[in-house]
């Protein structure tokens, strides 16, 4: 649950809309937030939407493409020492 403080003016406008549209104030606020998120996502490019996930498939490490030679060398050295 999220609590939000609204200005008196905005609260009065939402109250009026609620009565005019015969919907709850919560429904008005939820719809407004849903539209805000949708508009925000439309303005983001695909990279921005998924950047937290890129490069972390399986290992959880985001630098494997940069450090793969070092990792391979370590694995080979590890196998040679056994």
Domain boundaries of the chain, sorted by first residue: 8-81
Name the more confident of 8 and 70.
8
pLDDT bin (cut points 50, 70, 90) of residue 81 is confident
d(CA 50, CA 17): 36
Any idea what DSSP says for residue 22? Answer: T
What pLDDT score was predicted for residue 44?
A: 78
Q: What is the mean pLDDT of residues 42-46?
A: 80
Residue 56: phi and psi, rounded to 5, are: -120, 20
pTM of this structure:
0.53
The owner of tokens 């998120």 is: 37
């Amino acid at each position: 649950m999220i609590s939000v403080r609204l200005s008196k003016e905005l609260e009065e406008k939402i109250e009026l809309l609620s009565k005019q549209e015969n919907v709850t104030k919560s429904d008005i606020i939820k719809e407004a937030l849903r539209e805000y998120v949708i508009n925000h996502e439309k303005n983001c490019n695909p990279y921005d939407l998924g950047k937290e996930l890129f490069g972390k498939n399986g290992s959880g490490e985001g630098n494997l493409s940069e450090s793969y030679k070092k990792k391979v060398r370590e694995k080979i050295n590890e196998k040679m020492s056994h």
